[in-house]
Amino acid sequence: MDTQPRFVILEDHPLVREALASRLVLHFGDMTPVYSGADIDEAVVAIEQTGADCIILDLDLNDNRSPLLNIAMLSDTGVPILIVSALGDSTTIRSAFTAGVTGFVSKSAEPAELVSAVESALRGEKYTSAEAAAAMLADTSSLVELSDQERRAMVLYASGLKMRSVARHMGVSESTAREYIRRLRAKYDKAGAPLPSKTELYRMAQREGLIP
């Protein structure tokens, strides 16, 4: 890109924030993040006011909110989201990608991998590390076969979003999002595992390894 990229760094540990910013400066040149901190709401306001090209997000911000809800809130901005987190279990990685993140890098990765992931995000490309790829391919022993859209609707809805918000994040109408939920419920009902309530749907999503 012709202009210097604009970054948002969402991390609750000041030392890690500083290390991430220093790595970005080393590679992209002198820059000040659009936002650097641990408050999703403040980050969204900063993005609305200034714009951004890449969001670097730690999944565990200690803000008492579901990581998937944070991802959903940030995805509304339309800015690519790159996860840089120590939470590297397969369920967390799969659910983050299902919710719409662009890439996932472990905090134990080499600095060069972070730079590669950021550059991919800035180009609008997905970045899948070896760790993330292994998690995505892991066998979840699912009771039923869901389409990609049904799976995403299940993750977002089970994570606490209302149907209107699920539809917005998926870029479809509310009736279409509701239809995805109806279809997946029908599939589980046919498999002998009815999901009559949102609570049951949430428990099944956890059992299937779709959400942590």
What CATH number is given to the structural domain containing 187?
1.10.10.10
Per residue in 21-46, pLDDT (tens digit) is 999 999 998 888 999 999 999 999 99
Q: Are 107 and 86 in contact (CB under 8 A)?
A: yes
- Asked whether residue 57 falls in the same domain as residue 84, the answer is yes
* Nearest alpha carbon to residue 189 among 144, 150, 146, 149: 144
Please report whether residue 142 resides in a domain.
no
Per residue in 4-21, pLDDT (tens digit) is 899 999 999 999 999 999
Tell me how far apart the alpha carbons of residues 10 and 196 are, in angstroms, rounded to a whole number: 36
Using alpha carbons, list the distances in angstroms from residue 135 to 60, 71, 101.
19, 19, 15
Q: What pLDDT shows up at residue 209?
A: 79
Please report whether residue 54 resides in a domain.
yes
Tell me how far apart the alpha carbons of residues 152 and 195 are, in angstroms, rounded to a whole number: 16
Q: What pLDDT shows up at residue 43?
A: 97
- Asked whether residue 175 falls in the same domain as residue 113, the answer is no
- Asked whether residue 53 falls in the same domain as residue 26, the answer is yes
Tell me how far apart the alpha carbons of residues 53 and 5 are, in angstroms, rounded to a whole number: 6
Please report whether residue 17 resides in a domain.
yes
Q: What pLDDT shows up at residue 87?
A: 63
Q: Are 122 and 1 in contact (CB under 8 A)?
A: yes
* Nearest alpha carbon to residue 74 among 61, 51, 55, 50: 55
- Asked whether residue 167 falls in the same domain as residue 121, the answer is no
Give the end of a domain, one of 137, 172, 199.
137
Tell me how far apart the alpha carbons of residues 97 and 110 are, in angstroms, rounded to a whole number: 21
The whole model's pTM is what? 0.76
Whether residue 2 has pLDDT greater than 60: no
Whether residue 141 has pLDDT greater than 80: no
Average pLDDT score over residue span 72-78: 88
- Asked whether residue 66 falls in the same domain as residue 115, the answer is yes
- Asked whether residue 132 falls in the same domain as residue 163, the answer is no
Tell me how far apart the alpha carbons of residues 51 and 105 are, in angstroms, rounded to a whole number: 23
Please report whether residue 93 resides in a domain.
yes
Relative orientation angle of helices 40-50 and 67-75, to the nearest 10 degrees: 10
The whole-chain average pLDDT of the chain stands at: 88
Share of the chain above pLDDT 90, in %: 52
Q: What pLDDT shows up at residue 206?
A: 85
Give the end of a domain, one of 137, 159, 187.
137
pLDDT band at 159, cuts 50/70/90?
confident
Please report whether residue 128 resides in a domain.
yes
- Asked whether residue 155 falls in the same domain as residue 117, the answer is no
- Asked whether residue 42 falls in the same domain as residue 67, the answer is yes
Q: Which domain holds residue 64?
A: 7-137
Provide the number of structural domains found in the chain.
2
The two three-digit tokens of residue 154, written as one number: 């299940």
The two three-digit tokens of residue 117, written as one number: 């992931």
- Asked whether residue 121 falls in the same domain as residue 179, the answer is no
Please report whether residue 184 resides in a domain.
yes
Q: At 58, which CATH number?
A: 3.40.50.2300
Strands 103-106 and 81-85: parallel
**Which are the contacts of 54, defined by CB distance < 8 A and separation ≥ 6?**
5, 6, 7, 8, 79, 80, 82, 118, 121, 122
pLDDT band at 140, cuts 50/70/90?
low
Per residue in 186-204, pLDDT (tens digit) is 999 999 999 999 999 988 9
Give the end of a domain, one of 110, 137, 164.
137
Q: What is the DSSP letter of 153?
A: H
- Asked whether residue 41 falls in the same domain as residue 77, the answer is yes
